[in-house]
Structure 1
Amino acid sequence: METGGHNQLAMSNSFQIQRYRKSDKDEVFAFLKKVYSPLDSKRLISQWDWKYDANPSNASAEPYILLLKNGTNIIGMEGTMSLRVSILGKEYWIKNFCDLIVHPDYRGQGLSRQVVRQIIADHPIGFSWLNEISKKAVAPLSTSQYTRLLFLFRLMDSSQVIYKTIGSRLLRRWSSLLTSPAQRLTDVLHRRPFPAGVTITQVANFDQRVDSLWERIRRNYPVIVVRDQSYLNWRFVRRPDAKYTLLAATKGDDLVGYIVLRVTEKSGVKWGYLTEFLVEDRSSLLLKYLIYQAIDYLRHERAAIIICLATMQFFRHTLYRMGFIPRLLKPKYFNPRITLSDPELQVFRNSRQWYLTMGDGDLEMSF
Structure 2
Amino acid sequence: MAELNQYRPEHRPGILKLLDDAPFKDRIWDWQFEDPAMVRDFDPVVLVEGDRVVGFNGVMPARMIYLGERVDGIWSCDFYVDASFRGQGLGRTIKEALMEKGPVIMSFGVSARAASVLGHMGWRRSPDVWTYRHLRRSQSLRDHLLRCLQFLNRLTGGSLPAHQGHLQWQDSLPEAAEVDALWESICQRFTKAVVRDYQYLDWRYQRHPLADYRFLVARDADEKLEAVMVVRVNEATVRVVDWVGAPDESALMRSMVTRCMVDHPNATVFTVTTSSAAMGKAFEHCGFFRGRTQPAFFVRSALPDDADPEQGWFIMGGDSDGELLLAARERFSQGDGQ
TM-score by shorter chain over 0.5: yes
SS of residue in 1 equivalent to 2:264: helix
* Aligned twin of 1:68: 47
The 1:298–1:103 alpha-carbon spacing in structure 2 relative to 1, beyond 3 Å, is farther
- Could you tell me whether the CA contact under 8 Å between 1:132 and 1:332 is conserved in 2? no
The 1:100–1:143 alpha-carbon spacing in structure 2 relative to 1, beyond 3 Å, is closer
* Aligned twin of 1:31: 18
* Aligned twin of 1:339: 302
* Aligned twin of 2:27: 46
Residue 201 of structure 1 pairs with residue 175 of structure 2: no
* Aligned twin of 1:290: 256
Residue 210 of structure 1 pairs with residue 179 of structure 2: yes
* Aligned twin of 1:247: 216
- Letter of the aligned partner of 1:361 in structure 2? S
The correspondence for 1:82, drawn from 61, 64, 83, is 61
1:364 Cα deviation from its structure 2 partner = 1.3
- Could you tell me whether the CA contact under 8 Å between 2:229 and 2:244 is conserved in 1? yes
1:193 Cα deviation from its structure 2 partner = 4.2
RMSD: 2.5
The 1:347–1:357 alpha-carbon spacing in structure 2 relative to 1, beyond 3 Å, is farther
* Aligned twin of 1:350: 310
The 1:206–1:109 alpha-carbon spacing in structure 2 relative to 1, beyond 3 Å, is farther
* Aligned twin of 1:238: 207
- Letter of the aligned partner of 2:211 in structure 1? A
1:365 Cα deviation from its structure 2 partner = 2.2
CA distance in 2, matches of 1:259, 1:73: 43
Larger Cα Rg: Structure 1 or Structure 2? 1
- Letter of the aligned partner of 1:349 in structure 2? P
* Aligned twin of 1:56: 37
1:249-281 deviation digits (Å, cap 9, x = unpaired): 11223210111111224xxxx321111113337
- Could you tell me whether the CA contact under 8 Å between 1:201 and 1:249 is conserved in 2? no
- Could you tell me whether the CA contact under 8 Å between 2:183 and 2:244 is conserved in 1? no
* Aligned twin of 1:364: 323
The correspondence for 1:275, drawn from 228, 232, 241, is 241
* Aligned twin of 2:115: 135
CA distance in 1, matches of 2:113, 2:299: 17
- Could you tell me whether the CA contact under 8 Å between 1:245 and 1:261 is conserved in 2? yes
SS of residue in 1 equivalent to 2:29: helix
1:309 Cα deviation from its structure 2 partner = 1.4
Matches within 5 A, 1:180-191: none
SS of residue in 1 equivalent to 2:31: helix
- Could you tell me whether the CA contact under 8 Å between 1:217 and 1:280 is conserved in 2? yes
The correspondence for 2:278, drawn from 278, 295, 314, is 314
Give the % identical residues.
22
1:53 Cα deviation from its structure 2 partner = 2.0
CA distance in 2, matches of 1:70, 1:22: 17
1:19 Cα deviation from its structure 2 partner = 2.0
SS of residue in 2 equivalent to 1:219: helix
- Could you tell me whether the CA contact under 8 Å between 2:59 and 2:77 is conserved in 1? yes
1:241 Cα deviation from its structure 2 partner = 1.3
Task: Name stretches of at least 5 consecutive residues in structure 2 with no aligned partner.
Answer: 327-338
- The structure where helix makes up a greater share of residues is 1
1:290-319 deviation digits (Å, cap 9, x = unpaired): 1111112332xx221111012121221111
Task: Specify which structure has the bigger relative contact order, considering alpha-carbon pairs within 8 angstroms and separated by 6 or more residues.
Answer: 2
Number of residue pairs matched?
Answer: 314
The 1:286–1:366 alpha-carbon spacing in structure 2 relative to 1, beyond 3 Å, is same
1:348 Cα deviation from its structure 2 partner = 6.5
- Letter of the aligned partner of 1:362 in structure 2? D
- Letter of the aligned partner of 1:138 in structure 2? L
1:31 Cα deviation from its structure 2 partner = 2.8
Q: TM-score, normalised by structure 1?
A: 0.79
1:81 Cα deviation from its structure 2 partner = 0.3
1:147 Cα deviation from its structure 2 partner = 3.6
CA distance in 2, matches of 1:52, 1:348: 29
The correspondence for 1:260, drawn from 230, 243, 256, is 230
- Could you tell me whether the CA contact under 8 Å between 1:203 and 1:248 is conserved in 2? no
- Could you tell me whether the CA contact under 8 Å between 1:87 and 1:348 is conserved in 2? no
1:326 Cα deviation from its structure 2 partner = 1.0
1:194-242 deviation digits (Å, cap 9, x = unpaired): 2213333324124221111101111111101101000001111111111
CA distance in 2, matches of 1:146, 1:226: 19
Q: TM-score, normalised by structure 2?
A: 0.85
- Letter of the aligned partner of 1:355 in structure 2? F
- Could you tell me whether the CA contact under 8 Å between 1:131 and 1:332 is conserved in 2? no
